[in-house]
A and B are shown apart, each in its own frame.
Chain A
Amino acid sequence: MADLKPIVEMKGVKKSFPGVQALSGVDFRLFEGEIHAIMGQNGAGKSTLIKILTGVYKADGGSIVYCGTQCRFRTPLEAQKKGISTVYQEVNLCPNLSVAENIFIGREPRRFGMIDWNKINSESEKLLKRLNVSIDVTKLLSSYSVAIQQMVAIARVLCISSRVLILDEPTSSLDEQEVNELFEVLNKLKSEGMAILFVTHFLDQVYRITDRITVFRNGTFVGEYLTKDLPRVELIFKMVGKDISAMSAMPQKCLENVSDNKEIDSLLEIKGMKKHGSMNEFSLDVQKGEVLGFAGLLGSGRTETARLIFGIDKPDQGECLVKNELKNISSPSDAIELGLAFCPEDRKTEGIIDELSVRENIILALQGSLGIMKYLPRKKQDKIADEYIKALGIKTADAECEVRTLSGGNQQKVLLARWLATKPSLLILDEPTRGIDVGAKFEIQEFVMSHCKEGMSIIFISSELEEVIRVSSRVAVFRDRQKISELSGNDLKEEKIMHTIAGGQ
């Protein structure tokens, strides 16, 4: 491959934002017919590099060669027209438009000046076929799973003349099976000669599918390696810049706090709750200081359950006891008042307030519980913000930056900080480590677990079984919008849970 000419070659690319040097002279090469991963911690500059390549941002310095010619795209559209198809980290699809509309929005084919719907539909079907997806494209996007939506996002940017496909953390909301399907498609595109750039924080996936890895650390170029020549341990070392043996002490579940006397220490008990069309009848309980894991495929009812508990959706029936007292939770603010907190999985639409500062985002839920009149003094706000920025290692120039200028993983940390700041007695975490790099993942888990030792309970929802098992003392398994079983003790094994999810008891 070494004698081939790269289709994309970036050299000495620099980019700074007010207060941060996002990239300080990095190199990057991409070849046809390869899958290439850019690896690096949150805020290392991966997304920024992609945005510079596709013309979202203008580089402060450096050169870009595409297809043998020096070039600099002025807009993402121009890049797309020249064959670089990009799915950005924050994809914005419209759930209330049809699949076909989503694919063609903004570039509708016209006939006699009118939008040519027949063409839109047939073209959409063709594009999706190429990705091994055959669905009714006239249905609303929201009626399909996240995995299909992800494919739609790819189909949207892909066209016949595409030569480069860029995916910025496309798998963070997919389950195992869906990842397999995506990878099959990527391999197919690769064999057709497409150059694919793939950003993810899942090491497994990197080793399964990529041919080459470029590592960034803190906006600097660490190196470019063939995946087969770079052992995992070394990759992590290169990303983090320090020995990982320091991190090998993985956070473990804490069982000391969990007493046998449920009557006394029951924190939350749900009895016979259900909501038509969303979740079948279920009951569950969480004890003080316990971590209860939720396992199951996407759409199996994990998130729906959390939403019902937190008062976002109203159940048709069911009781909710907090500390053995019957309570009525009919809105998030009720739930927060009772000491609950819920960190939702979709950080863009349900989590961050993107134009507000990091500080304001962190204190938002706390201030919400205090009400309008008891405004936290500015000094106190600064203190809280700084405290969590430090504790969670949020990478930002300062607490006054708008949260949207943070990298994806760092936005996730801000959300976590928002809920920890309310000092909840039960924290519901829905995919809390999504988009967070390997190093920070452990740190965050550790930080959260340390709160557990102080008596906080957690409901931990994650698609990564290994993670769920590691931190939970009990795991509730969900399938088809039903809580089908609860496992604990010796049953807490990956195979056992997989088996349960798959349907065999």
Chain B
Amino acid sequence: MAGLKLKNIMGKIAGFFTAASRSGLLWPVIFFGLILLVNALINPGFFDIEIKDGRLSGSLIDIMNRSSYIILLAIGMTFVVATAGIDISVGAVVAISAAVSAYLIGGTLVVENGVQQYVSFMPMPVAIIAALLIATALGMWNGLLISRMGLQPIIATLILMVAGRGIAQLITSGQIITIYYKPFFFIGGGYLFGIPFSIYIVAAVLAVVMFLKKRTALGLFIQSVGINKTATRFAGINSSNIILWVYAFSGFCAGIVGLLVCSNNKSADGNNAGYNMELDAILAVVLGGTSLAGGKFYIMGSVIGGLIIQSLTTTIFSIKEIKPEANLVVKAVIVFVVCLIQSESFRKKVAGVIFLREKKSL
């Protein structure tokens, strides 16, 4: 009797889960919650948010702030992945964008009468716009190679991934440019109404993207291209242009991240800016439930995916028992497990095994 009841309840729970998982957000949210919970257990003050010097501070704010890079890249990457593509050049584009902005802001310390003067080589808006334009153009270059020349996405973006760091080095003449122009620091390190400015940037990009997805046919077209490019073209939709713009947008997002990185680090380092970020971004997209095979995509899933990766990194660092050299291994193992659990066929297999056991025990 009790067994039956339990089965009923289990059935109901399972039903709820399948329904929720259809919205695509179920698993990402669960994992994020789990990670937060683990953190709270280790560090009782984890959820505390206090106001220091008019700024909100606390672990949560910290995670949100730091995850802004991954999230921005993941948003751009989501569209790319939805068209059954991939963009592994975003890390390099981050470096280029950082280098361009640093170069245009200028790396000279000007001191007059013992007081630092805030001068820039070019006006700051020019530097920002130039960095974003160049990043977008680089994305378009990827898009052209893929949509017009028919290169495989991974190959096309690999070219820029490899060449990009070189380009960034060329711009900075092989040096790390250090920036002293204070107004520029606001972008990546400033606070507005007590909240880090980068969070506003993420929110703004997210709002635009959600608007495009919900209120225009862009989402439909992107999915359609990702599922069946030929049929989409036959239906009168310019598949090539969609692919082109999707990569351009990914470049644009990488451009913003370049600005954030440069501003936050107060320097541009062609070698290290954005290093390995493309991998985190792709992971975030996958964790968010978007399949690398293209088609259906989940923007909010990718955002949560980004949060998961960032909080995971933070958590692993904060657990003293894990040696620093083991950090990456632990992260990889957890990501692996998360991906496994998200895979429907894996879940079915596990469910099958459990079901069989149950049967045998009867």
Contact = CB atoms under 8 A, between A and B. Distances in A.
Interface of A: 312, 331-333, 335-337, 342, 344, 349-356, 360, 364-365, 367-376, 418
Interface stretch (B128-136, B156-164, B192-200, B216-224): B216-224
A375 B217 contact: yes
Interface in B227-241: 227-228, 230-238
A332 B237 CA distance: 8
A369 B236 CA distance: 7
A428 to B, nearest CB: 11
Contacts of B233: 312, 331-332
A355 B223 CA distance: 9
* Interface core residue of B232, B235, B296 (most chain A CB under 10 Å): B235
Interface in B207-261: 215-218, 220-221, 223-224, 227-228, 230-238
Given A364-B220, A371-B217, A336 B228 contact: no
Contacts of A355: 223, 227, 295-296
A336 B236 contact: yes
B236 A365 contact: yes
Given A367-B217, A372-B217, A375-B217, A344 B234 contact: yes
A319 B238 CA distance: 23
Contact of A373 (B216, B236, B237): B216
B231 A349 contact: yes
B58 to A, nearest CB: 40
B235 A365 contact: yes
Given A332-B233, A350-B231, A353-B231, 10 more contacts: A333-B237, A344-B234, A364-B220, A364-B224, A370-B217, A372-B216, A373-B216, A375-B215, A375-B216, A376-B217
B216 A352 contact: no
A456 B233 CA distance: 23
A349 B220 contact: no
Interface string B56-70: 000000000000000
17 contacts: A332-B233, A332-B235, A333-B237, A350-B234, A353-B231, A354-B227, A355-B223, A356-B227, A360-B220, A364-B232, A364-B237, A365-B235, A368-B221, A368-B235, A370-B217, A375-B217, A418-B235
A335 to B, nearest CB: 7
Contacts of A376: 217
Interface string B262-287: 00000000000000000000000000
Interface of B: 215-218, 220-221, 223-224, 227-228, 230-238, 295-296
Contacts of B221: 367-368, 372
Chain B binding site: helix, strand, loop or mixed by DSSP?
Answer: helix
Contacts of A336: 236
Nearest to A347: B231
A139 B238 CA distance: 33
Given A349-B228, A352-B228, A353-B224, A372 B218 contact: yes
* Interface core residue of B217, B223, B227, B238 (most chain A CB under 10 Å): B217
A371 B223 CA distance: 15
Contacts of A352: 228, 231
A352 B221 CA distance: 13
A115 B161 CA distance: 35
Contact of B228 (A354, A370, A372): A354
Nearest to A367: B217
Contacts of B217: 367, 370-376
A-B pairs with the 10 shortest C-beta distances? A336-B236, A368-B236, A368-B237, A333-B236, A365-B235, A375-B217, A364-B235, A332-B236, A353-B227, A367-B217
Nearest to A343: B234
Nearest to A333: B236
Contacts of B295: 355
A344 B232 CA distance: 12
Contacts of B220: 356, 360, 364, 367
B224 A335 contact: no
A349 B235 contact: no
Contacts of B218: 372
A364 B235 CA distance: 7
Contacts of B235: 332, 364-365, 368, 418
Contacts of B232: 353, 364
Nearest to B245: A372
Contacts of B227: 353-356
Contacts of B224: 353, 356, 360, 364
A146 to B, nearest CB: 17
A335 B236 contact: yes
B361 to A, nearest CB: 21
B179 to A, nearest CB: 39
A333 B295 CA distance: 22
A83 B88 CA distance: 46
Nearest to A352: B231
A312 B235 CA distance: 11
A180 to B, nearest CB: 32
Contacts of A331: 233, 238
Contacts of A367: 217, 220-221
Contacts of A337: 236
Nearest to B232: A353
* Interface core residue of A312, A365, A367 (most chain B CB under 10 Å): A367
